[in-house]
Amino acid sequence: MENTKNVVIVGAGLVGSLNACNLAKRGFHVKVYERRPDIRTQQHVKGRSINLALSCRGREALKMVGLEETVVRNGIPMRARMIHDLDGKRHPIPYGEKDQYIMSVDRRNLNELLLNAAEKHDNIEFVFEHKLVRCNFESGQAEFEGPDKSIVTETADLFIGCDGAFSSLRNLMMRATRLNYQQEYIPHGYIELTIQPTNNEFAMEVNYLHIWPRNEYMMIALPNQDKTYTTTLFMPFKVFESLQTEDDIIKFFKENYPDAVPLLGEGHIKQTLITTKAQSLISVKCYPYHIGSNWLIMGDAAHAMVPFYGQGMNAGFEDCIVLDELMNKYDLDFSQVLPAYTEKRHIDATAICDLAMYNYIEMRSAVNSKLFLLRKKMDNLLQKLFPNSWIPLYTMVSFTRTRYHECVARRAKQDKIIQYCGYTLLLLATGGVVVMVKGVGTDHILTTVTDWFSQLYSYIETTLHRFIL
């Protein structure tokens, strides 16, 4: 029977746990192997803990397994970026319309929620502290090594690697087939700090993603349910390494983040940067995502990205939606599902990896630019004028499920239209000066300008429908 398929998932993180819930709903028997101990038994979990920004794609995936309301209830809405200037002034940059927001979500709490939800299924089994060591890609078998060095052999209809940017399954696939692989470490690392509550209240405006952009580096802060802010300092490793003493550290913060020093506390800043090593950030692209009809990688294992678009988790969760849709389309025929998944998802994963890299420049530098703010205002204006045609890039990425590569393509077309509008407005201004110099009457000038603007509006509307949609 089709519904008795056996699936082995490598990795019990966010994507692995969500995948397990979704596949179990189909009646599959799902076994999840995780090399680490169960995080629910650990006081402190090693690894990246940058807060998550949950948006539309992630919410749709959580809705698929009945968890969206619970996660949203335990998250905090962030309706805009709050920019902290060097002089201490703050100004918000909204993400979209008033009803559009992203959610600050605690990574560990979300992972534990997914694990608990998965364990409620009788057909899901978790095996912790077992690492993948070998695969036989022809026979459909995998071997896992336990803490006592014992080997467990699994045979399954489908193996799915959801084991992160340094995926063991992907590494084994690379040895067995012509899998293209590209990784890039950016020259910037990160260290996390914490802003504690003030008088048992949030120390800053709560419904914002706070950003201290400083061109070569930046700091961000996301609110938590306990009224703290998880604060992450991103900057080149060479800058981290230059801060050798406590005096160096405090001087650096007072010069670059003066308003954050009293919020973080000098003692906490010194202690954290002296005792903590900056962590690296990696971008991973590969192709294909599958071997035959039995082996597949998803999430960070297939497309790890730097965290600056807030789409890493959302993209990984959307992977689960895409896999589910293709299983429906091809009636659970994995020999068709897996190749179709690779072809459909690869172009989008590549696009969002590139966007995430670009957004680091935007967050640490461009938000200070008058041209950036002008473009934001133009996007908002054009969206109001053409609500069915003009959707800003960030809105497409975060508040719709428009495919990532289509978001990029539409943005490129929007850039061309705005460039054309700029030239047209310049011609309008020049034309107005010319008719005034020639002594044409005021009424004629107004009529002419009105006609020009009417023609411009019609042109833009026609172009939007023809080229963007």
Structural domain includes residue 90: no
Pairing of strands 29-34, 131-136: unpaired
Structural domain includes residue 304: yes
Structural domain includes residue 92: no
**Residue 1, pLDDT above cutoff 50:** no
pLDDT bin (cut points 50, 70, 90) of residue 431 is low
The count of other CB atoms within 10 Å of the CB of residue 371 is 8
Q: What is the pLDDT of residue 388?
A: 80
pLDDT bin (cut points 50, 70, 90) of residue 374 is confident
Percent over 90 (pLDDT), the chain: 75
d(CA 107, CA 118): 17
Are residues 55 and 158 located together in one domain of the fold?
yes
Higher-scoring residue by pLDDT: 440, 388:
388
**pLDDT tens-digit series, residues 85-115:** 999 999 999 988 888 999 999 999 999 999 9
Structural domain includes residue 63: yes
pLDDT bin (cut points 50, 70, 90) of residue 11 is very high
Q: What is the pLDDT of residue 415?
A: 86
Mean model confidence pLDDT for the chain: 89
Are residues 143 and 21 located together in one domain of the fold?
yes
Are residues 391 and 450 located together in one domain of the fold?
yes
pLDDT bin (cut points 50, 70, 90) of residue 416 is confident
Give 106-152 as a DSSP string: -HHHHHHHHHHHHHTSTTEEEEES-EEEEEETTTTEEEEE-TTS-EE
pLDDT bin (cut points 50, 70, 90) of residue 23 is very high
**Residue 263, pLDDT above cutoff 90:** yes
Q: What is the pLDDT of residue 307?
A: 92
Are residues 295 and 219 located together in one domain of the fold?
no
Backbone angles phi, psi at 84, to 5 degrees: -100, 110
Backbone angles phi, psi at 268, to 5 degrees: -65, -40
Query: Average pLDDT, stretch 70-96?
Result: 94
Enumerate residues 6+ apart whose C-beta is below 8 A from 112: 39, 40
Structural domain includes residue 97: no
Are residues 267 and 143 located together in one domain of the fold?
no
End-of-domain residue from the set 362, 386, 420: 362
Pairing of strands 290-291, 180-195: unpaired
pLDDT bin (cut points 50, 70, 90) of residue 425 is low
Crossing angle for the helix pair 442-463 and 404-437, to the nearest 10 degrees:
170
Are residues 153 and 59 located together in one domain of the fold?
yes
**Residue 370, pLDDT above cutoff 80:** no
Structural domain includes residue 8: yes
**Residue 9, pLDDT above cutoff 90:** yes
Higher-scoring residue by pLDDT: 466, 394:
394
Structural domain includes residue 94: no
d(CA 114, CA 16): 9
Are residues 28 and 175 located together in one domain of the fold?
yes
d(CA 152, CA 33): 11
Q: Of 136-150, 177-191, 377-391, where does mean pLDDT reach its minimum? A: 377-391
Are residues 319 and 241 located together in one domain of the fold?
no
**Residue 437, pLDDT above cutoff 80:** no
Q: Of 174-188, 191-205, 409-423, where does mean pLDDT reach its minimum? A: 409-423
Are residues 423 and 353 located together in one domain of the fold?
no
Are residues 257 and 172 located together in one domain of the fold?
no
pLDDT bin (cut points 50, 70, 90) of residue 465 is low
End-of-domain residue from the set 341, 362, 383: 362
Are residues 276 and 287 located together in one domain of the fold?
no
Are residues 8 and 145 located together in one domain of the fold?
yes
pLDDT bin (cut points 50, 70, 90) of residue 213 is very high
End-of-domain residue from the set 325, 341, 362: 362
Range of the domain at 333: 2-79+102-184+283-362
Query: Average pLDDT, stretch 334-339?
Result: 98
**Residue 2, pLDDT above cutoff 60:** no
Q: What is the pLDDT of residue 106?
A: 94
Higher-scoring residue by pLDDT: 454, 432:
454
d(CA 93, CA 77): 15
Crossing angle for the helix pair 56-64 and 312-329, to the nearest 10 degrees:
50
- The CATH number assigned to the domain holding 335 equals 3.50.50.60
Give, as one character, the DSSP assignment of residue 441: -
The backbone region for 361, taken as left when phi is positive above 0, alpha when psi lies in -120 to 50, beta otherwise, is alpha
Q: What is the pLDDT of residue 449?
A: 53
Structural domain includes residue 146: yes
Q: What is the pLDDT of residue 352?
A: 97
Domain total of the chain: 3
